[in-house]
Structure formats: C-alpha cells, structure tokens
C-alpha cells in the first residue's frame, strides 16, 4: 500500500453508526456513517494488502451527499471540495483493529485513492443501517420506520406525503397499546394497588415512542420507547413484547389467518386504522420497512411492505368481515309500525338518542296490532352488526320482545 504522510490523530471509529452502503460488491466499498453528534461521513475503501484494508473517510453535508446520490455532483467534487479540506485514513485489520489513523490535506491524497473526475453515482444504495448501534448507544430498544417509494429520495420526502403518516402510525400504536396494556395487566395477580399502578405506568411508557432521529437511506424515522424499563441482559421487556405485536401486525396483512388472530385479540378499530394506513401507502405509491432491535434482550423483529405488496394486503383486508351480535334493552315508544311487513321504528325515552328500525321477530309478529303509539314499552332488540373493512357498518335489528309499561306517555306535537 502507498505510504501516507499524514498527521496522526485520534478518532473513535467504533462509535460511528452505519446508515447505508452506497456502493457494495462482496461487501461495502462506499458507506455513509454518522457520528454521535449527527455529523455525516463517507467511508471509501481505497486499498488493501495481506494484513489490512485501507479506508479513506471525510465529513460531508447531508445536502451535498444527496446531490451526489441524485447525480448532481461527482464524488471527486465532493471529496476534493469537502468543507474540512482534509480526509482521514485508517488501516483496518482482520480483527477490526484500527491502525495508522491519520489526516491528510485533500491536495496530498494519492491520485489512486481519489475517484475519477467524472465519478457520478450509478448505483442503488443498500440498507446498511445497524439498529443495534443505536440500541447500544441509547441502552434501549429502537424502532425504525423506513419509508420508500415514489418521490422518496435519499433522506428526503415531500412534506405533503410525510405529514399524514405520523398520525396514522400513532393511531395504530394507540389502538394496539390500549388493548395490550389491558391484557398484560390481567396477567399480574398483584393485589397491592401501588404496585399495580406502577406496572400500569411502566406499560404505558414502554408502549409510547419518542422520535430520536430522522435519517437518510430512503427516509427513516428512528424511535425509542419513552419509558426506560430496567432490563437484565437477555430478558424480554414490555417494550420488546409490544414491538413484536406492532411488527407482527404489519406482517399479518400478508396472511388471512394471522389477520384473524389479530382481529380476535384486538378489535375492529385496530384493523380499520391498519387498513387506512395501508390504503394511504397504496394511494401514494409508498412502501414501508418496520424494524425493532434491542441490544440488551437480543430481540430483533422486522417486516417489509414493498410498494407493490400493498394491493395484496388491501385485498386480504377487504375479504375480512367483522360480525357482532348484541342484545340491547331499552325503554321507549314505537313511532312507526307496518303490520303487513312486520317492520317497526322505535325510539328511546330514557333521555338519549337511541333509535332502532327493523323487523319484529316472527314469533311475536302476530301480536303487534296490540301495540299503541302512546304507550311506553320495555323492549329487547337483537342487533347484528357486520362491517367489511373499508366499507360502512351494516346494522340489522330484530325486536325480540316488548312489555308494556303501565304509565301512559304524553305524545309530542310532532
């Protein structure tokens, strides 16, 4: 390898977080990294011998990096005009040990280590983000949403496309969290109110997220749980469990049986919100990767939804019909009856807006001529609710029984 007459410096490369491999062939050749302060660096492989691989790296503005990826600038231009005016070199051995770390003015870089003058970007970035690094840094599980698709560039997305995504994700999280917390609380047999309250609080915090980074590599949101549950190594936390449910939901769309499991475990609202979100991705030609990594518990969950896959998820969801039967008891009066067809209209006199229209049950249909419009009745109605995902709810009411209330009621003028 060439002799480098640079100035020896200290630089903690081990703390750098890889965002993306911009060029790789049998391993990385040009990679985007970020340091603790959020500064961006490009690592470019330049040379090798029997003991080391040599890398050149330099600080770069994200906007400049985007210009390079969008073919507006060459890598040669980026490097030779970099803000710092110098680049770092490091020789890395087989055990990932760092040697001969130095800085060198860009004018003194060996031409073999520089790109060609017309070094335009002609590659496809590959996902190289190491969530474990974030997890290690924050000593916490990390959740990543990576948005891909039309008009999503390296680290940028139109605000009009991005803005609706956040509330949709949050709605899904809220629905999941509410039920998850209830179910999880039930599993504890603690009677002590204080301890029970503490568990509830921990669960609430472990199922809420805060954004810690918006990153390049398509467009990524990096989140971590608000709560920081003390975690022993290799034990699964509430946050891990909840993230598994969250990632699992995005996987469930591909499989009707899994979808059924989620529906029976959670509720129709969750599936509605999920449908809304997938529909949004479909309408806007977007894809989504969701990942969770926790370095403490060694838990790792991920699911990818490609732009082209949203349509099959929507189809699975549209095949799903939510059915519910409930018995409703009310006090009120009839305001319309058709003795031939057996249909009725009924309204509550209990001070609420309850109304029901439907048919009398066949068993009592012959008795309905006895019903008076100026009397009050206690009724039992069987309500069948059915709803296809993405369509309006359908309600079918059947009046099962009515008992006359002794008091006569005053009819409104209307």
Partner 1 sequence: MNILKRFKFQEDIDELTNNGILLPCLSSPVDLDGYRFAFESENINNHKPVYKQDPKRLVSAQENNKLTTSGYALSCFENDSKAILSYESICKIIKLFPKTAGDSLFYGKLIAEDGLVTDFSTSGHYDLYEYNDFEPSLRFLFKEKLR
Binding site for partner 1 (CB under 8 A): 13-14, 16, 18, 23, 25-31, 33, 43-48, 50-53, 55, 75, 92-94, 96, 111-116, 118-120, 122-124, 128, 130, 132-133, 136, 300
219-225 and 209-215 strand pairing:
antiparallel
CB of 294 to partner 1, least distance (A): 13
- Give the nearer residue to partner 1 in terms of CB position, either 18 or 168: 18
| Cβ–Cβ under 8 Å, residues 132 and 295 | yes
CB of 23 to partner 1, least distance (A): 6
- Give the nearer residue to partner 1 in terms of CB position, either 113 or 344: 113
- Give the nearer residue to partner 1 in terms of CB position, either 116 or 404: 116
CB of 246 to partner 1, least distance (A): 18
CB of 93 to partner 1, least distance (A): 6
Question: Cα–Cα distance between 403 and 334 in angstroms, integer?
Answer: 12
CB of 304 to partner 1, least distance (A): 12
Neighbours of 10 (CB within 10 A): 5
Helical (H) or strand (E) element with 78: helix 75-80
Question: Cα–Cα distance between 173 and 125 in angstroms, integer?
Answer: 30
- Give the nearer residue to partner 1 in terms of CB position, either 118 or 412: 118
394-408 and 355-360 strand pairing:
parallel
CB of 18 to partner 1, least distance (A): 6
Q: Which two structure tokens, joined as six digits, stand for 341?
A: 């067809």
- Give the nearer residue to partner 1 in terms of CB position, either 88 or 219: 88
Question: Cα–Cα distance between 300 and 370 in angstroms, integer?
Answer: 67
- Give the nearer residue to partner 1 in terms of CB position, either 179 or 302: 302
- Give the nearer residue to partner 1 in terms of CB position, either 48 or 321: 48
Question: Cα–Cα distance between 189 and 194 in angstroms, integer?
Answer: 13
CB of 47 to partner 1, least distance (A): 5
Total residues belonging to the chain: 414
Q: Which two structure tokens, joined as six digits, stand for 125?
A: 């970035």
Question: Cα–Cα distance between 311 and 314 in angstroms, integer?
Answer: 5
- C-alpha distances in Å from residue 313, one per residue of 23, 41, 147, 148, 251: 32, 38, 17, 17, 9
């Amino acid at each position: 390898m060439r002799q480098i007459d640079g100035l020896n410096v200290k630089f903690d490369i081990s703390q750098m977080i890889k965002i993306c491999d911009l060029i790789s062939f049998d391993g990385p050749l040009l990679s985007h990294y970020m340091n603790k302060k959020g500064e961006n660096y490009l690592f470019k492989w330049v040379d090798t011998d029997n003991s080391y691989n040599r890398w050149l790296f330099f600080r770069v503005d994200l906007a400049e990096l985007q210009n390079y990826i969008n073919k507006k600038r060459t890598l040669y231009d980026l490097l030779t005009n970099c803000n710092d005016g110098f680049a770092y070199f490091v020789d890395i051995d087989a055990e990932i040990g760092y040697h001969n770390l130095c800085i060198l003015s860009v004018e003194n870089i060996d031409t073999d280590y520089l790109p060609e003058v017309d070094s335009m970007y002609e590659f496809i970035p590959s996902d190289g983000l190491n969530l474990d690094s974030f997890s290690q840094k924050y000593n916490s599980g990390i959740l990543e949403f990576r948005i891909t698709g039309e008009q999503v560039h390296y680290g940028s997305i139109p605000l009009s496309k991005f803005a609706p995504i956040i509330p949709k994700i949050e709605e899904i999280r809220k629905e999941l969290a509410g039920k998850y917390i209830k179910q999880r609380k039930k599993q504890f047999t603690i009677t002590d109110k204080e301890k029970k309250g503490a568990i509830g609080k921990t669960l609430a915090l472990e199922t809420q997220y805060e954004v810690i980074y918006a990153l390049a590599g398509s467009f990524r949101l990096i989140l971590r749980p608000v709560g920081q549950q003390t975690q022993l190594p290799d034990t699964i936390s509430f946050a891990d469990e909840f993230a598994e449910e969250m990632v699992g939901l995005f996987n469930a769309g591909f499989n009707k049986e899994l979808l059924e499991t989620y529906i029976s475990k959670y509720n129709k609202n969750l599936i509605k919100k999920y449908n809304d979100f997938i529909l949004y991705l479909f309408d806007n030609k977007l894809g989504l990767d969701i990942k969770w990594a926790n370095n403490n518990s060694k838990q790792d969950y991920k699911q990818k939804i490609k732009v082209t896959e949203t349509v099959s998820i929507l189809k699975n969801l549209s095949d799903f019909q939510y059915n519910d039967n409930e018995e409703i008891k009310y006090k009120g009066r009839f305001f319309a009856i058709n003795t031939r067809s057996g249909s009725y209209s009924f309204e509550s006199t209990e001070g609420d807006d309850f109304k029901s229209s439907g048919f009398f049950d066949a068993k009592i249909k012959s008795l309905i001529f006895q019903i008076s419009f100026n009397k009050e009745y206690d009724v039992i109605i069987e309500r069948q609710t059915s709803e296809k995902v993405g369509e309006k709810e359908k309600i079918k009411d059947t009046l099962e029984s009515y008992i006359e209330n002794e008091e006569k009621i005053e009819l409104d003028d209307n």
